[in-house]
A and B are shown apart, each in its own frame.
Chain A
Amino acid sequence: MATAHSRAAARLTMAPAVVLLLGWMLIPLAMTLYFSFLRYNLLMPGSEEWIGTLNYEYFLTDPAFFAALGNTLALVGGVLALTLCGGILLALLLDQPFWGRGIVRLLVIAPFFVMPTVSALVWKNMLMNPVNGLFASLARALGLQPIDFLGEVPLSSIVMIVTWQWLPFATLILLTALQSLDRERLEAAEMDGAGALDRFIHIILPHLARAITVVTLIQTIFLLSVFAEILVTTNGGPGTATTNITYLVYALSLLQFDVGGGSAGGIVAVVLANIVAVFLMRMIGRNLDL
Chain B
Amino acid sequence: MKCGLSLIGAAVAAFLGASAQAETLSIATVNNGDMIRMQKLAGHFTKAHPDITLNWVTLEENVLRQRVTTDIATKGGQYDILTIGTYEVPIWSKQKWLMPLDKLGSNYDADDLLPSIRSGLTIDGTLYAAPFYGESSMIMYRKDLFEKAGLTMPEAPTWTFIADAARKLTDKKAEVYGICLRGKAGWGENMAFLSAMANSFGARWFDMSWKPQFNTDAWKKTLTTYLGLMKDAGPPGASSNGFNENLALFQTGKCGMWIDATVAASFVSDPAQSKVADKVGYALAPDNGLGKRSNWLWAWTLAIPASSKKAEAAQSFIAWATSKDYLDLVAREEGWAHVPPGTRSSLYANADYRASAPFADLTLKSIQAADPTRPTVEEVPYTGVQFVAIPEFQGIGTAVGQAFSAALAGQMTADQALQSAQALTTREMTKAGYIK
- Per the bound structure, the CA–CA distance linking A41 and B411 in Å amounts to 32
Contact of B394 among A54, A130, A233, A256 (CB under 8 A): A256
Chain A neighbourhood of B73, CB < 8 A: 42-43, 45, 257
Q: Would you give the shortest CB distance from A18 to chain B, in whole angstroms? A: 18
Tell whether B291 is near chain A: CB-to-CB under 8 Å: no
Name the prevailing secondary structure of the A interface residues: loop
- Per the 8 Å Cβ criterion, residues 186-219 of B in contact with A are 186
Cross-chain contact A151 with B69 (CB below 8 angstroms): no
Tell whether B248 is near chain A: CB-to-CB under 8 Å: yes
- Per the bound structure, the CA–CA distance linking A42 and B71 in Å amounts to 10
Contact of A131 among B237, B411, B431 (CB under 8 A): B237
Cross-chain contact B91 with A131 (CB below 8 angstroms): no
- Per the bound structure, the CA–CA distance linking A54 and B430 in Å amounts to 12
- Per the bound structure, the CA–CA distance linking A148 and B398 in Å amounts to 22
Q: Would you give the shortest CB distance from A233 to chain B, in whole angstroms? A: 8
**A228-271 near B? 1/0 per residue, CB < 8 Å:** 00000111111111000000000110111110010000000000
Q: Would you give the shortest CB distance from B269 to chain A, in whole angstroms? A: 21
Tell whether A150 is near chain B: CB-to-CB under 8 Å: yes
Tell whether A152 is near chain B: CB-to-CB under 8 Å: yes
Which chain A residue lies CB-closest to B63? A231
Q: Would you give the shortest CB distance from B396 to chain A, in whole angstroms? A: 8
Chain B neighbourhood of A251, CB < 8 A: 395, 398-399
Tell whether B266 is near chain A: CB-to-CB under 8 Å: no
Cross-chain contact A256 with B237 (CB below 8 angstroms): no
Q: Would you give the shortest CB distance from B70 to chain A, in whole angstroms? A: 7
Most chain A CB within a 10 A radius of its CB, from B392, B396, B423: B392
Contact of A239 among B184, B391, B392, B412 (CB under 8 A): B412
Contact of A58 among B399, B403, B408, B427 (CB under 8 A): B427
Cross-chain contact A237 with B237 (CB below 8 angstroms): no
Cross-chain contact B237 with A130 (CB below 8 angstroms): yes
- Per the bound structure, the CA–CA distance linking A238 and B56 in Å amounts to 33
**A151-173 near B? 1/0 per residue, CB < 8 Å:** 11010000000000000000000
Contact of B175 among A131, A237, A255 (CB under 8 A): A131
Q: Would you give the shortest CB distance from A208 to chain B, in whole angstroms? A: 39
Tell whether A176 is near chain B: CB-to-CB under 8 Å: no
Chain B neighbourhood of A233, CB < 8 A: 240
Chain B neighbourhood of A131, CB < 8 A: 175, 235-237, 249, 254
- Per the 8 Å Cβ criterion, residues 82-140 of B in contact with A are 91, 95
- Per the 8 Å Cβ criterion, residues 103-150 of A in contact with B are 124, 129-132, 146, 148, 150
Which chain A residue lies CB-closest to B236? A130
- Per the bound structure, the CA–CA distance linking A62 and B396 in Å amounts to 13
Tell whether A44 is near chain B: CB-to-CB under 8 Å: yes
Tell whether B429 is near chain A: CB-to-CB under 8 Å: no
Most chain B CB within a 10 A radius of its CB, from A62, A131, A236: A131
Most chain B CB within a 10 A radius of its CB, from A130, A146, A235, A239: A239
- Per the bound structure, the CA–CA distance linking A239 and B238 in Å amounts to 14
- Per the bound structure, the CA–CA distance linking A240 and B417 in Å amounts to 12
- Per the bound structure, the CA–CA distance linking A192 and B249 in Å amounts to 64
- Per the 8 Å Cβ criterion, residues 328-343 of B in contact with A are none
Tell whether B152 is near chain A: CB-to-CB under 8 Å: no
| A42-B70, A43-B69, A43-B73 given; A151·B237 CB < 8 A | yes
Chain B neighbourhood of A154, CB < 8 A: 409
- Per the bound structure, the CA–CA distance linking A256 and B402 in Å amounts to 14
- Per the 8 Å Cβ criterion, residues 203-238 of A in contact with B are 233-238
Chain A neighbourhood of B70, CB < 8 A: 42, 254, 257
Cross-chain contact B431 with A146 (CB below 8 angstroms): no
Chain B neighbourhood of A45, CB < 8 A: 73, 95
- Per the bound structure, the CA–CA distance linking A41 and B91 in Å amounts to 13
Query: What residues make up the interface of B, taking CB atoms closer than 8 Å to A?
Result: 62, 66, 69-70, 73-74, 91, 95, 175, 184-186, 235-240, 245, 248-249, 252, 254, 391-392, 394-396, 398-399, 402-403, 405-406, 408-412, 420, 423-424, 427, 431-432
The 8 closest A-B pairs by CB, nearest first: A256-B395, A239-B406, A43-B391, A130-B237, A42-B73, A238-B406, A238-B409, A148-B237
Q: List 15 A-B contacts (CB under 8 A).
A: A42-B70, A63-B424, A130-B236, A148-B237, A151-B410, A154-B409, A237-B405, A238-B239, A238-B409, A239-B411, A239-B420, A240-B406, A254-B70, A257-B69, A257-B73
Given A43-B73, A131-B254, 18 new contacts (CB under 8 A): A42-B73, A63-B423, A131-B175, A131-B249, A151-B409, A235-B186, A237-B239, A237-B402, A238-B409, A239-B402, A239-B409, A239-B420, A241-B409, A254-B66, A254-B70, A255-B395, A256-B392, A257-B394
